[in-house]
Structure 1
Amino acid sequence: MLDFNTLSEFSRANCAGICAFLIPANILSTLLTIILTFINRPTVQIWQAAGFASIFAFVMILHVYTWFSIGVVMLPTYILLGLAITCLLTNLAAILWRSNSLQVYFWKYNR
């Protein structure tokens, strides 16, 4: 059984290590999604990259909420939360942009 109290304590006790991994992982995986979108890779690859990047962003949000749950409200928590939300929205925008650009392409040339 999963004990959320123990998991939250682990997250807070190892904050420096978790953030040292998650910050570059969020930025690089979201950058990969953007690059794959702009070089017109297949939609499946973009979905995979965005899903992978969203996992890192979701873990960052959960990590920040462990701090919020004990009442730590500081600038770094908001910065990390902003980074995670920005990465999530960027991945969503890449998926939507890719699917809309395909619809415009097929509508324009298959008319």
Structure 2
Amino acid sequence: MNQKEAKRLFDEANRLWFGDIKFNKVLPLYREARNYDPSNSVIIYQLANVLWAFEQFGEVRVLVAKIERNLDRLSDFGKEVFGREKSRLLAPSPFKSPMPIPACSIGLAEKV
């Protein structure tokens, strides 16, 4: 477990996700951050959110269960947020109908 590297990767992924709006680049970074700190519920929660957005609902369920096993690693505020968001994470998006394949597996080419 390398928490420093996990934080660096997590911060970079957050910058791309929230700031630079480069959604196609974040999933490997969040996954790698989780690999460096596999019981970090904050990293796992954000990975679950990204996977939910990419319609990978099966993996999200596994991550939600892992967060529940590591709730003690969340602050009181984090526990409150997770409590509110858990049902959304466990359900497919009500705003769109599921694609026959996950949207992230289409593999659109980037323009340079």
Class of the TM-score when normalised by the shorter of the 2 chains: 0.3 to 0.5
Which structure is larger by alpha-carbon Rg, 1 or 2?
1
Q: Which structure's residues are more often helix, by fraction?
A: 1
TM-score normalised per structure 2: 0.39
